[in-house]
């Protein structure tokens, strides 16, 4: 359950309700149920079922899968075992379930840690002991955050080296496609690396996408996708000054992956949901509230800049009836200051900077669907004209906060933080700006 936010402005409460509607549409229990109704798993599994998984939604995906399979006569008598890796801090209950043969472990986020290496090793050890056969079924539950939770580095480079390079890419404003292209070839399970341990068993990947576009292979570095773009990965490494050790190790890794990709695998990958599902649900709910919905705004590029553009697109409208602008996607932040914040909070302040002079009522929410924005406990920002008044009364400056990448400090001082706690899902970000 998400908390109710203490905001008296009707437009702010509407914005929060629309954001919640988007989030509710990508709850793992709903998505797994919808997918399995379509019979995406084999109708006849003669052997056993193994489950492996990674990312922020992995535990809730597993619980949903277990519940649905337990109620299905085709699978109810099947023993399920496995190892599921949760992103540390993103699942409220990460202890191993005593009623299940599936072990639940935690690993690092946003960067891999020793727990990530331990999780990959535990997954490999489980699959080796399981000894998969063609009669068995392996279900891989893949969600955003999996690149870190299954972030064991490839041979020839250390975790410190890979973390420093990925951090440099992020801090330099690399977009998510650039970052993911490098992660796929830097991590052992990336670019189909998991499939080297699944033997001859059929594999079904159930994927909750946290990326833009239709390419599921970049989610969690593509552990069930034996494909990769070597040329683009090397372009990114040159662009962000990767060390010669990393370049050499990736070269060796790419040769191994090309060989592995020629081996036959009984594989099916299924998209459970993505940001588009959340945006569509938010749009439909806004219509139910009687709001006129503007064309959907793509969240991409520099967060504060896109936030300003988002607000201008809203203010440029001259409508007689209440209306709403909804955005979906993921922005980036080029870090220049030493403050505390995240991309959603920067996007929020970028928008608020444009909105602060308007005499119209408005409600604004910008938040990550995973419930976490940057190295903070906030999901994003929330507020309206009353928030603008509190910022001015406190003598605070939006421009200074953005210059120092200190969005969280300003919003926390003025009751503008949008907090949800871990949501157990992850389909990037949603932004909602309403006039009523």
| Inter-residue long-range contacts of 232-235, CB under 8 Å, 24+ positions, other chains counted | 232/181, 233/181, 233/182, 233/184, 233/185
Of the candidates 13, 150, 24, 136, the one whose C-alpha atom is nearest the C-alpha of residue 430 is: 24
pLDDT for 257 beyond 60? yes
- What is the reported pLDDT for 271? 95
What mean pLDDT comes out for the span 389-411? 97
pLDDT for 1 beyond 50? no
What mean pLDDT comes out for the span 178-189? 92
Residues 27-273, CATH architecture: 3-Layer(aba) Sandwich (3.40)
299 DSSP 8-state letter: E
- What is the reported pLDDT for 97? 54
> Cα separation of 86 and 143, whole Å?
10
CATH code, residues 10-23+276-434: 3.40.1480.10
- What is the reported pLDDT for 11? 97
Q: Bridge-partner residues for 382, per DSSP?
A: 365
Q: Rounded to two decimals, what is the model's pTM?
A: 0.90
Domain map (residue ranges) of the chain: 10-23+276-434, 27-273
- What is the reported pLDDT for 100? 65
Q: pLDDT confidence of 51, banded at 50, 70, 90?
A: very high
259-272 pLDDT, tens digit each = 665 566 789 999 99
pLDDT for 130 beyond 80? yes
Order of strands across the sheet with 49-55? Answer: 101-107, 80-87, 49-55, 137-143, 203-208, 267-273
Q: pLDDT confidence of 2, banded at 50, 70, 90?
A: very low
Residue 359 C-alpha from the chain's centroid? 36
- What is the reported pLDDT for 91? 61
């Amino acid at each position: 359950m998400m908390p109710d936010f203490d905001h008296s402005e009707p437009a702010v409460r509407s914005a929060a309700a629309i954001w919640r509607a988007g989030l509710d549409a990508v709850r793992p229990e709903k998505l797994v149920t919808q997918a399995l109704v379509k019979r995406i798993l084999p109708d006849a599994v003669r052997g056993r079922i193994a489950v492996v998984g990674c990312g922020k939604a992995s535990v809730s995906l597993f619980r949903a899968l277990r519940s649905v399979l337990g109620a299905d006569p085709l699978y109810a008598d099947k023993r399920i075992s496995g190892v599921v890796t949760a992103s540390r801090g993103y699942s409220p209950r990460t202890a191993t379930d005593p009623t299940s043969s599936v072990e639940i472990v935690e690993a690092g986020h946003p960067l891999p840690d020793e727990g990530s290496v331990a999780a990959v090793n535990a997954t490999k050890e489980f699959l080796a002991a399981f000894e998969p056969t063609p009669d068995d079924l392996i279900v891989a539950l893949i969600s955003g955050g999996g690149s870190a939770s299954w972030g064991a580095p490839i041979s020839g480079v250390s975790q410190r080296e890979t973390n420093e390079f990925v951090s440099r890419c992020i801090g330099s404003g690399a977009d998510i496609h650039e970052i993911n292209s490098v992660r796929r070839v830097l991590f052992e399970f990336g670019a189909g690396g998991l499939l080297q341990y699944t033997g001859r068993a059929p594999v079904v990947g159930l994927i909750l996408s946290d990326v833009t576009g239709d390419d599921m292979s970049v989610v969690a570095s593509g552990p069930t996708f034996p494909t990769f773009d070597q040329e683009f990965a090397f372009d990114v490494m040159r662009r962000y000054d990767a060390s010669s050790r990393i370049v050499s190790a990736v070269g060796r890794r790419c040769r191994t992956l090309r060989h592995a990709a020629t081996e036959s695998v009984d594989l099916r990958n299924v998209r459970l949901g993505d940001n588009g599902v959340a945006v569509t649900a938010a749009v439909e709910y806004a219509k139910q509230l009687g709001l006129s919905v503007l064309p959907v705004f793509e969240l991409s590029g520099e967060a504060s800049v896109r936030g300003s553009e988002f607000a201008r697109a809203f203010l440029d409208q001259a409508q007689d009836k209440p209306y709403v602008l909804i955005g979906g996607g993921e922005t980036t932040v080029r870090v220049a200051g030493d403050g505390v914040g995240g991309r959603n909070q920067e996007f929020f302040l970028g928008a608020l900077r444009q909105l602060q002079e308007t005499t119209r009522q408005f409600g604004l929410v910008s938040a990550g669907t995973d419930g976490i924005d940057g190295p903070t406990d906030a999901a994003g920002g929330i507020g309206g004209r009353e928030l603008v008044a509190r910022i001015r009364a406190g003598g605070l400056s939006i421009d200074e906060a953005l210059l120092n990448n200190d969005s969280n400090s300003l919003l926390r001082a003025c009751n503008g933080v949008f907090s949800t706690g871990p949501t157990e899902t992850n389909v990037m970000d949603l932004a909602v700006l309403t006039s009523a």
